[in-house]
Structure 1
């Protein structure tokens, strides 16, 4: 059983992250923790894991949590055994087997005589056969580090497991192993992830937002359906409030018109009756006071409705605001853009691919580029872009305009501000206010325009990349996305999905996120063979 009661957390700079969080997860529950970037999902997991202390409130768990983090840089100076916190136990086992049977060694081993065997089995299951537990963590790739910590689940055999973006660095094979674990385990799970296929394997969803935590009793698809229903109800509330505001303004206008007519009629009567000037002034002041009071009453009503309407509008989802808005006129569907015949690439005289590649890319296609880590996906992209020439075979490449959005968002110049970066793509000489309108549409408000791009998160850099393409206006022939959903929260993935689906040109995507590939209507796959 995991229980959070009135948990709050304030950053060291005194900024409140979340307040009075209450959550209950019974064994063997499997739950997702979702929310926008900056909502505090990773921080909340660290608090539950004991790596951070809440500013107030209590965390209770009937089992010690095992935590698979999202970032591994803090372990680079450690060995695999040290990162998994099993070095002392393994050393004690070796010393006992060598005859050094001390109370200290027995206490450290704690009757865990199968620790070495479990390590070998767990590492082998996660495709880390032969990995030396004395190897430095910094020598491993991101995917290998993730697999090490996932193997730690079978090694430590916890009842409560916390996972922070566990599929981020995993290739397709690694993700399949992770999905299998999620389905078969009897562990209690709390998972932060943007991998919607993974989220659909869980029994419930907790949404963390400024309003606190809201629980939904179903998987991610169920959560999305409920959010859509809530969104539709919110849209109806907005429409109803807009109608009420229009009605209130009409009533205000009619009332003031009636008042003006009454005042004018009264003036005429008074003038005809020869009312003294001093009395006329008194009556005029009285009429003006009445009009002023009437205006005040109606202004209060319309002001209250306007505030309620703005609050409702602030809750509307953002992804519908963000469209490419390209001029697609220059795109010719079906035109051959790239044709490769028996191509290969080589490093140190050795061919990169076991089998040479032959393929054709035509305008308007949506293609996934798949292969294991190290299979040469990035190399093939550079060949398609004309940055590399194949060492064998031939390739035809039409005169095409391509945009490559890589994992490091190289499209963004970290030396520039957000506004200056947008201006780099202002080829059609849009006015300053038009550029800022488009930035605002992609959630970059006035407060963000002078912010350095180096300070942006991955999701913000993705949004700014998309915004730059809209400012550019003319649709590129090809957009290439390299693992675009890595490190994005669900909100930004939805934004990316909506924007990509509005694009009519050729799309080439490298991604292990099968759900994302389905959502953007990928038509076929170029599969790379195992590298030599």
Structure 2
């Protein structure tokens, strides 16, 4: 057992004038399975890269273990997978990787295939297996679930549960609960480490917030009462001072004035104490304002129908044909393994030209709002983006503020945003659009847990007609009215 110690860590990006971390101190055990949670843009990935020594900082990071990072950067993906393995874990034996792959329900023959022919989910599994072959290293795992379907997430969670010595950044509640024994939380004002899984941490965090809110309310009442008392004491003091003029017993009046002055000072001291107590509260309270949506009512019950539709690549169907109807108020989740054509089905729905079997019928005058999976096209500032997409800029930015964007983000180039912030831009755009049908392709990738729950509440409140692909089991359990399996 050894400890990773961070003392007085301070860091900001050279192009930015706001601190990501300021005088941060904490320590973690290298045997822990640590879930790392926090709102988008708080600096989770930045902290991992600081541990890796990729940025200059002030303070001290002390560790007796080497750090490895997932996703591991692969320069040439055309190489055979076993060659990639030797790059990642040069001291390990091939049989060790085969053993690790078997724990991830993968066949050993993937080692003899070019790495770029593996699906994103298969690549994720291979790299995790290879990194865990580096004996004695501490693994920094940054959002591994973004390319994993539901089944693969369960397999990887089971795999990680048997391991130790890692930090896992994830916003998937079920995934975290399945494989971590400590939570490392990047809060609004502090960093905290707590034993347990995500659910136990969340329960404790919410209980602490409730306590602080109640304490804050009580102290505010005390401060208001003490302010009134101080005001009355001041008025009494003024009257006593006035009564000195022409008084027969000035000594008695002076004694009375001294007593009032002492009482006034006691009230002031208690008031300052209450203010000081109050100032230590609510630093980490996470508030989420309700989002709003204005879906359009369609003139018919059926908006879209698919009849024996399957996407084709190189003349081959990539999944069994599917038939479905999208009706008013439906929240349809498209489920299936990676590579089964889920995103292609959504692209067909919005009118992209993809070879397919069967027929798709759209209702006349149907208006669709689409959130793509890819965010790489986002660049420039938010004002220009709103103008280019004919969005109400005030509404667009108000939605982003409700999704925990700081005002300083409005001045930055979107290329500087975190993955979750970029995804929030696409969701905010969709929420600005009045549509009959909302088509969202993996909308929650990289998005923090609070915003996920905020979006769940929005959909439950406004019940827009939706068809979506999403692998977050908690979200699908809460939202989906139908599940279509590919």
Both structures adopt the same fold (TM-score exceeding 0.5)? yes
Q: Is the 8 A contact 2:370 2:430 kept in 1?
A: no
Q: What SS does structure 2 have at the residue aligned with 1:479? A: strand
1:243 aligns with 2:212: no
- TM (normalized to structure 1)? 0.71
* Residue-by-residue CA offset, 1:246-293 (whole Å, 9 max, x unaligned): 546656777788899x69xx8xxx9xx9xxxxxxxxxxxxxxxxxxxx
Aligned pair 1:369/2:334, yes or no? yes
Aligned partner of 2:37 among 29, 34, 38: 34
* Whole-angstrom CA distance in 1 between matches of 2:480 and 2:59: 47
Q: 1:326 is matched with which residue: 288, 293, 296?
A: 293
Residues 333-482 of structure 1 mapped to structure 2, 5 A cutoff? 335-353=301-319, 355-388=320-353, 391-398=356-363, 399-409=365-375, 414-415=379-380, 417-422=381-386, 437-472=398-433, 474=434, 476-482=435-441
Counterpart position of 2:110? 131
Max radius of gyration: which structure?
A: 1
Shift of residue 494, structure 1, vs aligned partner: 3.6
Q: Separation in 1 of the partners of 2:432 and 2:234?
A: 45
Displacement of 1:332 after TM fit? 6.4
What is the correspondence of 1:93-492 to structure 2 with a 5 Å cutoff? Answer: 115-123=93-101, 126=104, 127=106, 129-132=108-111, 135=114, 142-153=120-131, 155-158=133-136, 160-183=138-161, 185-201=162-178, 202-209=180-187, 211-244=189-222, 246-247=224-225, 312=281, 315-319=284-288, 321=289, 323-327=290-294, 330-331=296-297, 335-353=301-319, 355-388=320-353, 391-398=356-363, 399-409=365-375, 414-415=379-380, 417-422=381-386, 437-472=398-433, 474=434, 476-492=435-451
Q: Whole-Å Cα distance in 2 between the matches of residues 467 and 515 of structure 1? A: 21
Q: For residues 64-89 of structure 1, what are the alpha-carbon distances to aligned partners after superposition, in whole Å with 9 as ceiling and x for unaligned?
A: 55634136356769774565446996
Secondary structure, aligned partner of 1:167: helix
Q: 2:447 aligns to what SS in structure 1? A: coil
In structure 2, the CA distance between the partners of 1:327 and 1:243, relative to structure 1 (3 Å rule), is farther
Relative to structure 1, the CA distance from residue 75 to residue 489 in structure 2 (aligned partners, 3 Å threshold; closer, same or farther) is farther
Distance 1:222 1:397, change over 3 A: same
Deviation, 1:193, is: 1.9
Q: RMSD in angstroms over aligned alpha carbons?
A: 4.4
Q: Which residue of 497, 505, 513 maps to 2:456? A: 497
Unaligned runs of 5+ in 2: 247-265
Write the distance in 1 (CA, Å) between the matches of 2:280 and 2:396: 26
- Corresponding residue of 1:525: 483
Residue pair 2:333, 2:467 contacting (<8 A) in 1 also: yes
- 1:389/1:30 Cα in 2 relative to 1: closer, same or farther (>3 Å)? closer
Over 3 Å counting, the alpha-carbon distance change for 1:248 and 1:478 in structure 2 is farther
Report the CA distance shift for 1:452/1:506 in structure 2 as closer, same or farther (over 3 A). Answer: same
Flag the 1:155–1:88 CA change in 2: closer, same or farther, 3 A: closer
Unmatched runs of 5 consecutive residues or more in structure 1? 90-108, 274-296
